[in-house]
Copies of this chain bind each other. A is one copy, B any other.
Amino acid sequence: MASASYRRRQCFAGPLLAEPEWRVLDRSEIDWLNAIVMCRAYAPGQCIFHEGDACQGLYIICEGLVALRKHDGAGASVLIRLAETGDILGYRSLLAEEPYQTTAEVLKPSRVGFVATTIVHELIARKPDLAFAFLRRVCHDLGEAQERFHLTVTQSLRARVAYFLLLMKEDYGTETPDGSLLIELPISRRDMAEMIGVRSESLSRTIRQMTDDGILAFSGHRAWIGNTDRLLDELGPHVERHPMT
């Protein structure tokens, strides 16, 4: 429950500075940000912001894991994006000058910094490269969102599971000694279903089928994939084989 007292109050430090957005800043600007930016701890289940809220600034995940969800009134929701250490939240709303369209729910104990809108604008005005960095990121995200729509509409659930695992491989996959692939999923089965856009019961069934077919093995949040090619075969014809270029 975020029991630790964080000695380091500086958000902008360590590997976080390697993020494309902050890399364009120089030392003095980093120091300035560290002096201004508030950083606080969140426990799992807490929300950083809610769908419909007015956007006041940017959030930076110094450490942790956060889910961006969209809810509909009937209780169903969809997981739009996972954000982990180093990721930024709220830039879409800030730069579109619109209210939040998603709710940011903390999944693992997190430290999150807040940068007010005015600061962001000031930084961008001072560093044109920052605008480019954001542009590149948002455009890339847009491409992913379109790809996701395409996939959801044209591909079977099974193909989408395969695709999802290949995506997660990028961030959470490791090679095991015996040459197979291990993916340590950071999320529950339900959240996984929400990312794929499917009911969790259906996801369970699909995973079982794929297990029976010897394509993968699951244990809790751990997935083993013996042969990546067999996963790729699940994708429909001519679907981009290298998601997340």
Interface residues of A (CB under 8 A from B): 70-74, 76, 78, 80, 91-93, 95-98, 101-102, 124-125, 128, 131-132, 134-136, 138-143, 145-150, 152-155, 197-198, 236-239, 245
A54 → chain B, closest Cβ, in Å?
13
Number of copies: 2
Question: Do the beta carbons of B148 and A149 come within 8 Å of each other?
Answer: yes
Please name all residues of chain B whose beta carbon is closer than 8 Å to the beta carbon of A76 when the two chains form the complex.
Answer: 154
Question: Do the beta carbons of B197 and A236 come within 8 Å of each other?
Answer: no
Selected contact of A96 from candidates B71, B124, B140, B239, CB within 8 Å: B140
Q: Which of A73, A125, A140, A150: most chain B Cβ within 10 A?
A: A150
Bound complex: CA of A72 vs CA of B101, how far in Å? 29
Bound complex: CA of A93 vs CA of B91, how far in Å? 19
Closest-by-CB residue of B relative to A131 is: B131
Question: Do the beta carbons of B237 and A74 come within 8 Å of each other?
Answer: yes
Question: Do the beta carbons of B238 and A154 come within 8 Å of each other?
Answer: no
Q: Given the known inter-chain contacts A73-B237, A73-B238, A74-B237, please indicate yes or no for A145 contacting B149, CB distance below 8 A.
A: yes
Closest-by-CB residue of B relative to A101 is: B143
Question: Do the beta carbons of B236 and A142 come within 8 Å of each other?
Answer: no
Bound complex: CA of A156 vs CA of B79, how far in Å? 19
A225 → chain B, closest Cβ, in Å?
23
Q: Given the known inter-chain contacts A73-B238, A237-B72, please indicate yes or no for A92 contacting B150, CB distance below 8 A.
A: no
Question: Do the beta carbons of B80 and A149 come within 8 Å of each other?
Answer: yes
Q: Given the known inter-chain contacts A153-B197, A238-B72, A238-B74, please indicate yes or no for A98 contacting B132, CB distance below 8 A.
A: no
Question: Do the beta carbons of A143 and B96 come within 8 Å of each other?
Answer: yes
Selected contact of A78 from candidates B70, B92, B139, B153, CB within 8 Å: B153
Q: Which of A102, A132, A142, A148: most chain B Cβ within 10 A?
A: A142
Question: Do the beta carbons of B236 and A91 come within 8 Å of each other?
Answer: no
Selected contact of A142 from candidates B138, B153, B197, CB within 8 Å: B138
Question: Do the beta carbons of B131 and A70 come within 8 Å of each other?
Answer: no
